[in-house]
Amino acid sequence: MTSLSINVNKFALIRNARGTNMPNLVDISKKCIEYGADGITVHPRPDERHVKFSDLEELKNLTDNYEKIEFNIEGYPSDNFIKRIIDVSPDQVTLVPDPPEALTSSFGWNCEENKNFLTDVINKFRENDIRVSIFINPSSETLSKLHTIKPDRVELYTYDYAKNFNENKESAIKPYLEVTNYLKKEFPHISLNAGHDLNLHNLGYILENISEIKEVSIGHALVCDSIDFGLKQTIAKYNILTQHQK
């Protein structure tokens, strides 16, 4: 089963551009759910250029109104981020190693170098019954400390896959297959998510080849597709690609 979680950051970016509440982020997220999304993802950054921390409570209240709809919050685990996320208590927190000035997520954690830091952070969230996923590169070289860090899930950073897909999809997916096999062998208790630059063109292939993926988080491409197809039809198109797993 692969769940489709829609990242609503870009909708928030449009809202913020005019300094108004249009589009209303809760209304957009509600439509995403009613049109077939399995969850809502947000990534509030320190400069709040799209989703704001003040949005989180309302979005959590929204998702709580639906059975089996999850709320996922991404971000770098600063002290402020940790406190705010524990206060909101989403279903899942996805930890990314982005510096504050990052335009978008661009690499995964080096688990070797950040073993103690990630272990402490994950324990704080786990004590508050929040599932934890961490962003990883498609390489096993920096993952040997996962047995100490003990995340519930890892999220494959799929930028390289998407970038190389058009040139050679077999080559593009190869490192992702390798790291998935490594995880299954060494850490079978850790589940798998995926995200970044996945779209209508490349999503089906990765899901067909890595059936272990429990959740994909898609935002930018989905918003762009909505310009062509409309939000309802766009979500339907993405659900066609994830339904084969259900």
List the catalytic residues. Answer: 43, 74, 196
**Residue 123: which H helix or E strand, with range?**
helix 115-127
Strand residue runs (E) in 172-243: 191-195, 213-218
What's the angle, vertex CA 70, arms to CA 65 and CA 74, rounded to 5? 130
The CA-atom distances, in angstroms, between 85 and each of 8, 36, 88, 134 are 17, 25, 5, 15
CB 223 within 8 A of CB 11: yes
76-85: string of b/e by CB count within 10 Å (b at 16+)?
bbeeebbebb
Sequence-distant (6+) residues with CB within 8 A of 192 are 153, 154, 155, 156, 180, 183, 210, 212, 213, 214
Type of residue numbered 47: D
Q: What is the DSSP letter of 24?
A: -
Q: Round to whole Å and give the CA distance between 94 and 30.
A: 22
CB 4 within 8 A of CB 216: yes
